[in-house]
Amino acid sequence: MKNTKLKRLRLAHLWTISQAANKVGVSTLTFSRWENGVQRPQLVYLASLCSIFGKTPEELGYEDLVRVDEMPRPHEMVQLSRPKRRLSSKL
């Protein structure tokens, strides 16, 4: 089932799917799948969604995914980053 709450929040922030995906640290395709109900976010990404939108899982349309008391607190979350590619010095 489509997640209209997630899409409405994204649009309220005037973000494209690509912009929202970058803020969460996922691909545009993954974020689109969340909005279309094809996939559901893993807990670490759900915590990130809650953080960037300032909402609870319930307010994001994921009330059945996790209990609020199981969500990591902001100080418990690890900053996610993509590994940087190193350019080879060999020519």
> 28-78 pLDDT, tens per residue?
999 999 999 999 999 899 999 999 999 999 899 888 876 555 555 555 555
Q: Are 68 and 56 in contact (CB under 8 A)?
A: yes
DSSP string, 3-69: -HHHHHHHHHTT--HHHHHHHHTS-HHHHHHHHTTS----HHHHHHHHHHHT--TTTTT-TTT--GG
Number of folded domains in the chain? 1
Residue 68 located in a structural domain: yes
79 has pLDDT over 80? no
Residue 86 located in a structural domain: no
Neighbours of 60 (CB within 10 A): 19
10 has pLDDT over 90? yes
Residue 83 located in a structural domain: no
Q: Is the whole model's pTM more than 0.85, yes or no?
A: no
Q: What is the pLDDT of residue 39?
A: 93
Residue 35 located in a structural domain: yes
